């Protein structure tokens, strides 16, 4: 089959040179000089070709992917929020309001690495925030939450080309609502923090949106649009994203935990979120942030 062998590096460190690109074995098409290029190749198995190509670039800060040409541009994007579309874990930042950031961050890290059950870890962490004034939610969003580089460009470019974008998070609706609005997602799904008399109760409303719920949401969104999950793009960084990443036709581990990076179809370790556009064949000249 015909596939695109793609090289991508960080826009903040545009070190992709013609000499590096020559390792693709022939003339390349530059999607963005210094940042992304590709070469069309014929291969029997894109996964095998990608593995071989990754070995050739293992010592360089370059992301490598081999994507079948017939499967490139996607019409549905399902994205994780914390440490994917935004740079932080909102629950960890909330914990800083009560002096427990280090403690809760350690639990978060273990959960995202797949070492702890997600639902149990979520309830434990939220329980430690019992009594926190709800005003802390706004302070955290205003002072701590930052969009990951390329987030708005990714969503706006895909939408400008007919795609639908959903933010699906194991975090909380207070944050997904605001992030979805800032980035331009069509809809958002997350957990609901219970609040009484202006304070967090330490409880999360059931059911918990975790690994399987993310997959179910992907499948429903795809089905509602007359497509299968294999026609979709899913991106995330933690163990609770693995099911949807594994089922999506283009599943991307973005600056992800080792367990996720090892299992995802594609991993982006160096590029920002515009890397997901290059994977789909977009040129930088086609990017939109409108």
Catalytic residue among 80, 92, 241, 272: 80
Query: Is there a domain that residue 13 lies in?
Result: yes
Tally the domains of the chain: 1
pLDDT at residue number 30: 98
Distance CA 206, CA 213 (A): 12
Query: Is there a domain that residue 231 lies in?
Result: no
* Active site (annotated) includes residue 80: yes
Pairing of strands 187-191, 193-196: unpaired
pLDDT digits (tens, 9 = 90+) for 215-224: 999 999 999 9
The pLDDT of 248-259, averaged and rounded, is 96
- Asked if 3 and 41 touch (Cβ cutoff 8 Å), the reply is yes
**H/E stretch holding 135:** helix 135-144
SS3 203: strand
| Cβ neighbours for 85, distance < 8 A, ≥ 6 positions apart | 79, 147, 148, 151, 167, 179, 183, 273
Q: What angle do CA 127, 130, 132 make, to 5 degrees?
A: 135
| Cβ neighbours for 197, distance < 8 A, ≥ 6 positions apart | none
- pLDDT bin (cut points 50, 70, 90) of residue 290 is low
Query: Is there a domain that residue 98 lies in?
Result: no
Pairing of strands 164-172, 187-191: parallel
**Which residues, in sequence order, are bridge partners of residue 164?**
76
SS3 194: strand
Catalytic residue among 42, 63, 82, 181: 82
First to last CA, the chain: 36
Query: Is there a domain that residue 179 lies in?
Result: no
Query: Is there a domain that residue 3 lies in?
Result: yes
Q: Is 201 exposed, middle or buried (0-12, 13-18, 19+ CB in 10 A)?
A: middle
Distance CA 134, CA 122 (A): 18
Closest CA to 169 of 115, 112, 96: 112
Cis peptide before 207, with omega less than 30 degrees from 0? Answer: yes
Domain extent at residue 5 = 1-72
Distance CA 137, CA 142 (A): 9
* Active site (annotated) includes residue 82: yes
- pLDDT bin (cut points 50, 70, 90) of residue 70 is confident
Q: Using the Cα atoms of residue 185, residue 256, residue 234 and residue 286 in order, give the sign of their dihedral.
A: positive
What average pLDDT does the chain have?
Answer: 95
Please report, for the domain that includes residue 42, its CATH number.
Answer: 3.30.70
Distance CA 194, CA 203 (A): 6
| Lowest mean pLDDT, pick from 201-205, 234-238, 285-289 | 285-289
- pLDDT bin (cut points 50, 70, 90) of residue 289 is confident
Query: Is there a domain that residue 33 lies in?
Result: yes
* pLDDT over threshold 70, residue 199: yes
Query: Is there a domain that residue 132 lies in?
Result: no
pTM: 0.96
pLDDT digits (tens, 9 = 90+) for 158-190: 999 999 999 999 999 999 999 999 999 999 999
Query: Is there a domain that residue 67 lies in?
Result: yes
Task: For the chain, give the percent of residues with pLDDT over 70.
Answer: 100
């Amino acid at each position: 089959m015909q596939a695109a062998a793609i090289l991508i590096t960080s826009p903040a460190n545009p070190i992709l040179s013609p000499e590096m690109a020559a390792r693709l074995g022939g003339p390349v098409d530059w999607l963005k000089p210094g940042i992304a290029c590709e070469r069309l190749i014929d291969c029997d198995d894109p996964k095998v070709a990608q593995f071989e190509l990754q070995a050739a670039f293992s010592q360089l800060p370059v992301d490598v992917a081999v994507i079948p040409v017939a499967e490139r541009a996607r019409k549905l994007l399902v994205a994780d929020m914390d440490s994917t579309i935004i740079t932080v874990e909102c629950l960890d930042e909330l914990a800083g309001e009560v002096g427990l950031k280090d403690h809760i961050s350690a639990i978060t890290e273990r959960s995202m690495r797949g070492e702890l059950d997600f639902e149990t870890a979520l309830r434990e962490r939220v329980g430690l925030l019992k009594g926190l004034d709800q005003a802390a939610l706004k302070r955290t969003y205003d002072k701590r939450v930052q969009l990951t580089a390329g987030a708005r460009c990714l969503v706006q470019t895909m939408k400008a080309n007919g795609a639908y974008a959903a933010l699906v998070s194991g975090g909380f609706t207070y944050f997904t609502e605001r992030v979805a609005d800032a980035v331009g997602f069509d809809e958002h799904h997350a957990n609901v923090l219970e609040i009484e008399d202006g304070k967090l109760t330490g409880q999360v409303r059931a059911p918990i949106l975790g690994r399987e719920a993310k997959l179910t949401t992907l499948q429903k969104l795809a089905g509602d649009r007359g497509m299968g999950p294999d026609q979709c793009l899913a991106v995330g960084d933690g163990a609770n994203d693995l099911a949807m990443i594994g089922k999506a036709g283009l599943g991307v581990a973005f600056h992800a935990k080792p367990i996720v990076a090892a299992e995802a179809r594609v991993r982006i370790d160096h590029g920002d979120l515009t890397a997901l556009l290059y994977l789909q064949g977009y040129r930088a000249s086609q990017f939109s942030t409108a």
